[in-house]
Amino acid sequence: MRLWIKALFSILVSFFYFNANAGYYSHDAQQCNIAIKYYENKYNIPNNLLHSIALIESGRWDKNAKKYYPWPWAVGVEGKPYFFDNKHQAVKFVKDLLRKGKSNIDVGCNQINLHHHGKNFSNVEQAFNPIMNSNYAAKFLKSHFDNTKNWLLAVARYHSHTPHLGELYASKVLSRWKSFLKEAMPINRQSMYQDKPIKPIKPSQSKVNKQKKRERSKEGIIVFSRNKIEINPKQKENQAIIEISERLLNN
């Protein structure tokens, strides 16, 4: 039997075992931990990066363990989190919302949005399944990395393609991920994955140049640019400047 099949089999065994002990928070939470760890390895994702995302998305405090765990029965509705003690309660809650016409709902360990990604699951129960949920989240994150070659940018796009929203989210995940690195390497703080470095998100040079030109224009400094930036009102009185600017823009 191939190694990955054995690993998946052990996850399935754990899944059914932990379901029998659904009253214990840490047992339920371990369903997320096991699945996330497996798919981080399968898709070559930096260790604990998807786990960090899951903690931001569905982290629930375990008073016995005194730590946060990703929670499999978590639901997010329009930014408001709900934590249920078992899968049955969570599924019923979501199905009631769907019947009312609401679909902007995040579910499970990694808070998969049903409006955008629900078609990738056969039903609500499957979307909550920690194995299915984590597998889809890992593939989704890896697809963004394949497109950007930058793990932080991939994390940002996991949350949103709107730059300022994605970057704020990525900074939260990075802070959580760094705490894992410190726990794993208390003496040597170098990256655990030097072959898969996480690069900072940098604005494109064209955006930087365009912003600089706007600032200079506001200060009354003449700027000749191919970018369509409005001419400073003080400069509009000078017909020569307008003619030169329009000629450059139209080239």
Specify if 207 maps to a domain: no
Identify the burial level of 46 via C-beta atoms within 10 angstroms of its C-beta, where 0-12 means exposed, 13-18 middle and 19 or more buried: buried
Specify if 117 maps to a domain: yes
Specify if 231 maps to a domain: yes
Are 114 and 219 contained in the same domain?
A: no
Do residues 156 and 162 touch, judged by C-beta distance below 8 A? no
Residue 68 banded pLDDT, cuts 50, 70, 90 = confident
What pLDDT was estimated at residue 183? 61
Query: Lowest mean pLDDT: which of 113-117, 171-175, 221-225?
Result: 221-225
CA 97 and chain centroid, separation:
24
pLDDT tens by residue, 98-125: 999 998 999 999 999 999 999 999 999 9
Specify if 208 maps to a domain: no
Q: What is the pTM of this model?
A: 0.64
- Its domain, for residue 235, covers 214-250
Query: What single-letter DSSP state applies at residue 222?
Result: -
Residue 201 banded pLDDT, cuts 50, 70, 90 = low
Q: Pairing mode, if any, of strands 112-113 and 74-77?
A: unpaired
Do residues 128 and 90 touch, judged by C-beta distance below 8 A? yes
Residue 29 banded pLDDT, cuts 50, 70, 90 = confident
Closest by CA position to 73, among listed 125, 21, 137: 125
Are 176 and 137 contained in the same domain?
A: yes
Task: Return d(Cα 17, Cα 28) in angstroms, integer.
Answer: 10
Highest mean pLDDT among 38-47, 194-203, 235-244: 38-47
Residue 189 banded pLDDT, cuts 50, 70, 90 = very low
What pLDDT was estimated at residue 250? 43
User: pLDDT averaged over the chain?
Assistant: 75
What pLDDT was estimated at residue 251? 41
Are 135 and 223 contained in the same domain?
A: no
* Boundary-marking domain end, from 166, 184, 202: 184
pLDDT tens by residue, 145-157: 999 999 999 999 9
Task: Return d(Cα 163, Cα 69) in angstroms, integer.
Answer: 28
Residue 192 banded pLDDT, cuts 50, 70, 90 = very low
Calculate what percentage of the chain has a pLDDT beyond 90: 49
Written as six digits, the tokens of 74 are 């978590």
Closest by CA position to 201, among listed 149, 139, 147: 149
Q: Is the pLDDT of residue 206 over 70?
A: no
Residue 169 banded pLDDT, cuts 50, 70, 90 = very high
Q: Where are the alpha helices (DSSP H) in the chain?
A: 3-19, 25-42, 49-58, 87-99, 114-117, 124-128, 130-148, 151-159, 163-184, 205-218, 239-250
Q: What residues are paired with 105 via a beta bridge?
A: 77
Instruction: For residue 89, count other CB atoms closer than 10 A to its CB.
Output: 14
Q: In the block, which residue shows the tokens 């699945």?
A: 35
Are 222 and 179 contained in the same domain?
A: no
Do residues 128 and 91 touch, judged by C-beta distance below 8 A? yes
What pLDDT was estimated at residue 38? 96
Residue 249 banded pLDDT, cuts 50, 70, 90 = very low
Are 128 and 233 contained in the same domain?
A: no
pLDDT tens by residue, 155-166: 999 999 898 898
Task: Return d(Cα 175, Cα 168) in angstroms, integer.
Answer: 11
Residues sharing a CB contact under 8 Å with residue 68, sequence separation 6 or more, in sequence order: 55, 59, 60, 61, 62
Calculate what percentage of the chain has a pLDDT beyond 70: 62
Residue 66 banded pLDDT, cuts 50, 70, 90 = confident
* Boundary-marking domain end, from 142, 167, 184: 184
* Boundary-marking domain end, from 184, 205, 224: 184
